[in-house]
Structure formats: C-alpha cells, structure tokens
Chains A and B, each alone.
Chain A
Amino acid sequence: MKLKKLLLLTLTLAFAVSLAACGNKDNTSGTTTTDKNADSAETTTLSGSILASGSTALQPLVEQVGKKFMDKNSGVSVQVQGGGSGTGLTQVSGGQVQIGNSDVFASEKMKDAAAAKELIDHQVAVVAIAAVVNPEVGVTNLTKQQLVDIFTGKITNWKDVQGKDQAIVIVNRPSSSGTRATFEKFALGTKTEDLKGSIQEDSSGTVKKLVTETPGAIGYLALSYLDDKVKAVQYEGVDATVDNVISGKYPVWAYEHMYTKGEPDATTKAFLDYFMTDEVQNGDVVELGYIPANKMQVKRDETGNVTK
C-alpha cells in the first residue's frame, strides 16, 4: 500500500510541476507581459522579459550586460540562450525570441531575402581576428597573398614564407562558421576550398590548443583568445591590435549583431540602448575582449565597403 501511495505522490508531483511550468511559460514568452512577480514598479517603468538566443561568441557579453540591466530594472528579465548564429537568426525571424545574436550579417546567412529584410540590425561590438601560428615556425608577418597561398594549398612549407623548413598544418573552421567567413572575406579576399588533410574545428579553444601543440600549425582566432602560447602574425605589416582595428588600419574584423524583428518593443529597445552607453561599451565590452562599436573610426556595410 505504501508503494502505491508513493507512486501516487510522484504522479501528483509531476502533474503539479508541469502545471506550474505552464503557468510560468505564459510569463516568459510574451513580449512585454507585465511581470507579476516584480514588486518594484515604483523604481522603474520598464517591465517584461527579453529572450535572446544565438551566437556563442557574443553570448557571454549579452549575459553579463543582461545581468546588469536586470539589476537596474528589477521588473525586467533578460534570458540569454546559445545555439549558434544560425539558430539565433532562425528564432528571431520566427518570433520565438526578441533578439537574435549573430556573428554575421543576416543577409549572408539567410536564403530568404524577404525574411532577412524584416530584421533590424543593432551592431553592439566588433570582433577582430588574427592569423595565429605555432611559435616555432619563425614567421612574424604574412602578406595577403601569402595567406591566400597558404590557405589554398599553394604554399605548403614555412620556408617559402621566410620561416623554418617545416610543413604547414592548416587548422581551419567549418564552412558555416562566421569566424571563417570574416577571415576569408577581409584577410584573404576570397572563398577557399577545404583542403585535404586540413583540420577543422568550430571552437576557438580547440583551435588554440591545436595551434599551440601541433608543429607547423596555422589558424585564426579572435583577439580575446590571444596570449603568449600562440604567435599572432602581422597582416601586411600591421599588428593585430585593438588600436589598429579602431583606426581602420587592420582590416580583419566584423561586427557582432543583435537582430530584432521589426522595431523592438520599449523594453528591448531600452536594453539595446543600454548596450550602446559608454558604461557598457567601455566597461563590459572591453573587459570581455571585444572592441567597442561606438569607438570605431571606420564603418562597414553589408557588402564590405569601408567608410570613414
């Protein structure tokens, strides 16, 4: 009899939890539903919940800023989910989230041009990418042509670019990667085929580990991942530094985008505005290794045209 009771209890519990869960669901999915749990309506006029998903590269930043935003506006809840740029764009376009985080312009990823047009771009930060090599290869500078030759397999030994006599091992990213798209577009200026025997990793940590350990390896990493374990090479004689990116001397960079479908609602807009304040741009953005978007002395549009 005891057992039966136990079983019944479990079932009831399960039912209760699922009920509770359903009730909660209504709160989170609405765009600006007033949060019943917030009791601090006097301190702020903003309320509701923001759901953001997408790029894992942008995620830590959005999370940190979201946390601060919630501290300031206790009636607001900001939830950040990962899933990758593709997922973020899919979900914001489908209306499942308010903000879709992406490493690339929506028009580059989405085949459906009309759906891409509906999305409004908010460029919140800049990420610069540097070519990195194993410190042993003895190369400090690579020209655009040399990089192209390496990544298309024309040059296969470091001695051809004034390095040691050592075979080149390419650590690339998968063809769908936003980092790869940026690197190909602005460092190489051309799309490359995947070479036979090249290594492909999607995650920066693994790329860094492999470049550090594998003799003769070359890859590319966001500036925030650089340290003395890997050697960042100059691009056309220009160091990959934050200052050079801001002044427009170093060209291999891309925006981090936060997309909304149409004009954002008041709460979401306040959040995105908060993102662009100096407090965030000079604080969290820099702290987490991104480059502030509002500091950039150059601008770039979807087709890659740079303007001062």
Chain B
Amino acid sequence: MKPKAADKLATGIIVFFALLIVAVLLGMLGFILFRGLSHISWDFLTSEPQTIREGGGIGPQLFNSLYLLILTMIITIPLGLGAGIYMAEYAKPNKLTDAIRLIVEVLSSFPSIVVGLFGLLVVVQQFDFGFSLFSGAIVLTIFNMPLMVRVTEQAFRSVPKEQKEAGLAMGLSKWKIITSILFPVALPIIVTGTILAAGRVFGEAAALLFTAGMTTPHINFSDWNPLHHNSPLNPFRPAETLAVHIWKVNSEGLAPDAAQIAAGASAVLVILVLIFNLLARWLGRALYRKFTSIK
C-alpha cells in the first residue's frame, strides 16, 4: 500500500473509533435519560420507596447519598489535606517517603469490594458500628483519601517557588507559609480534585452493600436531632444510597414498576454525576480567577 493511502486509511480508522466512543456514550446516556426522565417527578424525588405497591420514590435514598457524601468529606478532607501537605512540604526525599507514596498508590488501586469486606469485618462487626452511615463513610474515606492526598500534593507543588520564598523572607514559620500563602494558591486545584473525587461516593455500591447496608429505616424528616433514632441526621442508622437502591430494585424489586424506578434512579444518579463534573470545573475556574485577580 502506498504511504498516502495507508495514512488515509489509518486516519479513517482512528476517527471511526473515536466517534464510536462518542456514540457509545451518547447511546448510553440517551438510553438512561430516555427511559428514566419520564419517570422523574418532584414526587418521585421526595417520596418514600414502596415494597410492593406502585409509585415508590427515592427520597430517603437521595438524602442518604448526599448525607453520606457530607459525612465522608468531613472525615476525608482534613485527613487528606494533612497527608497531602506532609507529602508536598515536610517529606524528605528518602525511603520512608517512597514507601508512603507506594501506600497511597496501593490504597487507591484496591478493589472496592476488598475495602468493603474490610469494612464489614472491622467497622461493622469488630467495632460493632453495625450497618450504618458511619461505617459507610469510613470505607469511602479509605477510597477517597489517596485521591485527596495526590490532589493536594500536586496542588502545593504547582505553587511558584517565589511565593514561598517571599514568605520565608518575611520571617514567617513554615506552617504559616503553608496555611496563609500556599494554601490559597493551591485551593482551586484542590477544590476541583475534591469534587471530582466526591463524585465517586455517589457511584460506589459494592463496598456500601457490606457497610452502609441495603435498608433505610423509617426516617422522620421533621426531627433533625442527630441523637434520635429516626432522625435523618443520625449517622448510626443503616442507610441505602441511590446506587445501592438501583442495585436492590433491579435485583429484588417486588413493586410492579421496579424497572421504571431503576431507570429513573439511574437517570438521577447520572445527572448528579454530570452536575458534579460541571460544578468542579466551574468552581475551580471561579476560584482561580478570584485568587489571581487579587494578586
């Protein structure tokens, strides 16, 4: 074959495959939204699920997903930031640092089911937290922390050296430099990374089956005292998230409209992930603009 013809053919194939990927995604999104959107209504988003009757909603599940996300982030952000700052600013280039880096890498590649089983054995059984939001949040923290550490480290490293040196010249302590000079500059990247990592919380199901459980007890949405059993805020109640609910409805659903509920819930989940993606970018850009315009 002539080089020119080969070039054309290869280009054609590459373009075809690239467009195929776009088509696959559009096809899947189309399928989910087409099947699901018609089922989404305010009532569907807020009402309680039904076991055998039609017309069940996903209200508690939606709330659980969001609340679990917040709980996870409350644990993950301080820990992830701290470890990331250590890696970027305090760690010396030695064997120990290499080992920690390896740990972060291994931790982020663990299959979610292994971490979920660990949660079942240690958090749910050993420490007797039961199937609860708290157990789920701990397991999700194990997933999210490596991501946070990496994002934080990269963000701090991307800060220009001059800014740090300026701080040193002003006679500030290292910790002061980190918190008041480096952190604001690194923030846009950290925020973007954190939100993207948070998106994973929404989608995770395998690990939560074993930790947060597959049930939502009756929640009293007028009682916001986290100490009460029925309170939505009680972190020690079992909680089924949206992703787990899709799994359950799809596999065990007795309600006559189980298929539509699964489709509707899938659509809600995908839309949430979309929102998260857009939010991450927009917020990252907005913060970046704000901090750069000040200087």
Taking a contact as CB atoms under 8 Å apart, the answer to whether B252 and A205 are in contact is yes
Q: Which residues of A have CB within 8 Å of B213?
A: 81-83
Residues of B close to A13: CB separation below 8 A: 74
Given A79-B238, A96-B128: A205 and B218 interface contact (C-beta under 8 Å): no
Q: Which of A24, A90, A94 contacts B236 (CB 8 A)?
A: A24
* Contact residues in A for B214 (Cβ distance below 8 Å): 56, 59, 82-83
B227: nearest chain-A partner, CB-CB: A24
Asked if B167 lies at the interface with its beta carbon under 8 angstroms from chain A, I say no
CA distance A82 to B183 in the complex (A): 43
1/0 per residue, CB under 8 A from B, across A2-40: the answer is 011001001101100100110111011100000001000
Residues in chain A near residue B180, CB distance under 8 A: 1, 3-4
B51 pairs with A25, CB closer than 8 A: no
- In chain B, what residue has the closest Cβ to A206? B251
A17 contacts B226, CB within 8 Å? Answer: yes
By the criterion of a CB under 8 Å from any partner CB, how many residues of chain B are at the interface? Answer: 40
Contacts A56-B252, A82-B131; is A24 near B226 (CB within 8 Å)? yes
Beta-carbon contact of A288 and B52 below 8 Å = yes
Assess whether A203 is in contact with B52, with CB atoms less than 8 Å apart.
no
In the bound assembly, the distance between CA atoms of A283 and B56 in angstroms comes to: 20
- Contact check, B77 vs A49: say whether CB atoms are below 8 A apart: no
Residues in A whose Cβ lies below 8 Å from that of B55: none
Q: Does A289 contact B (CB under 8 A)?
A: yes
Q: Is A287 part of the binding interface, using a Cβ–Cβ cutoff of 8 Å?
A: yes
Whether the pair A96, B236 counts as a contact (CB closer than 8 A) is no
> Given A28-B236, A37-B228, is A4 in contact with B179 using a C-beta cutoff of 8 Å?
yes
For residue A56, which residues in chain B have a CB less than 8 angstroms away from its CB? 214, 252
State the Cβ distance, B155 to closest chain A Cβ, in Å.
14
A20 and B233 alpha carbons, distance in the complex (Å): 11
Q: Are B237 and A205 in contact (CB under 8 A)?
A: no
- Residue B283 is within 8 A (CB to CB) of chain A in the complex: no
Residues of A within 8 A of B227 (CB): 20, 23-24, 27, 37
**Chain A hits for B251, CB < 8 A:** 201-206
Is there a chain B Cβ closer than 8 Å to A51's Cβ?
yes
* A80–chain B nearest beta-carbon distance, Å: 6
Q: Is A64 an interface residue (CB 8 A)?
A: yes
A64 partner residues in chain B, CB cutoff 8 A: 51
When the two chains form the complex, which single residue of B75, B77, B131, B179 contacts A53, counting CB atoms closer than 8 Å? B131
Q: Chain A: how many interface residues by the 8 Å CB criterion?
A: 50
**Which single member of B78, B130, B235, B250 contacts A21 (CB below 8 Å)?**
B235
Query: What per-residue 1/0 map shows which CB atoms of B204-227 lie under 8 Å from chain A?
Result: 000000000111011000000011
Chain B residue numbers with a CB within 8 Å of A29 are 128
Is A67 positioned at the interface, with any CB of B under 8 Å from its CB?
yes
Task: Determine if B258 is an interface residue (Cβ-Cβ < 8 Å).
Answer: yes
Which residue from A3, A67, A204, A289 sits with its C-beta under 8 Å from B183? A3
* Bound Cα distance from A241 to B215, whole angstroms: 30
Q: Does A77 contact B (CB under 8 A)?
A: yes
Pick the contact of B131: A49, A63, A83 (CB < 8 A).
A83
Which residues B223-261 have CB closer than 8 A to chain A?
226-230, 234-238, 249-254, 258
Contact flag A24-B52 (CB < 8 Å), given A81-B215, A203-B252: no
In the complex, what residues of B have CB within 8 A of residue A17's CB?
71, 74, 226, 235
Interface check B11, CB cutoff 8 A: no
Minimum CB distance partner of A62 in chain B: B215
B226 / chain A contacts, CB cutoff of 8 Å: 17, 20-21, 24
In the complex the two chains form, what is the Cα distance from A53 to B71 in whole Å? 24
Within 8 A of A (CB), among B69-123: 71, 74-75, 77-78
Residues of A at under 8 Å CB distance from B? 1, 3-4, 7, 10-11, 13-14, 17, 20-21, 23-25, 27-29, 37, 49, 51, 53, 56, 59-60, 63-64, 67, 70, 77, 79-83, 90-91, 94, 96-97, 201-206, 224-225, 287-289
10 contacting pairs across A/B (C-beta < 8 A): A3-B184, A37-B229, A53-B130, A60-B52, A79-B237, A79-B238, A81-B215, A205-B251, A205-B253, A288-B52
In the complex, the 5 A-B pairs of residues with the closest C-beta atoms, listed nearest first: A203-B251, A82-B214, A81-B131, A60-B51, A77-B229
